[in-house]
Chain A
Amino acid sequence: NAGVMQNPRHLVRRRGQEARLRCSPMKGHSHVYWYRQLPEEGLKFMVYLQKENIIDESGMPKERFSAEFPKEGPSILRIQQVVRGDSAAYFCASETGGGEQFFGPGTRLTVL
Chain B
Amino acid sequence: KNQVEQSPQSLIILEGKNCTLQCNYTVSPFSNLRWYKQDTGRGPVSLTIMTFSENTKSNGRYTATLDADTKQSSLHITASQLSDSASYICVVRPSGGSYIPTFGRGTSLIVHP
Residue ranges of A at the interface with B (Cβ–Cβ < 8 Å): 4, 35, 40-45, 48, 56, 58-59, 91, 93, 97-98, 100-106
Q: Which residues of B contact A59 (CB under 8 A)?
A: 100
Q: Are B42's CB and A43's CB within 8 A?
A: no
Q: Chain B 96-113, CB within 8 Å of chain A: the 1/0 string?
A: 001111111110000000
The complex places the Cα of A48 from the Cα of B94 at a distance, in Å, of 15
Q: Are A41's CB and B101's CB within 8 A?
A: no
State which of A42, A44, A58, A105 has its C-beta within 8 Å of the C-beta of B43: A105
Categorize the interface residue count of chain B. Answer: 20 to 34
Q: Are B106's CB and A42's CB within 8 A?
A: yes
Residue ranges of B at the interface with A (Cβ–Cβ < 8 Å): 4, 31, 34, 41-46, 49, 89, 98-106
Q: Are B100's CB and A98's CB within 8 A?
A: no
Q: Are B101's CB and A45's CB within 8 A?
A: yes
The complex places the Cα of A106 from the Cα of B42 at a distance, in Å, of 7
Q: Which residues of A contact B31 (CB under 8 A)?
A: 98
For B46, give the chain A residue with the smallest CB separation: A100
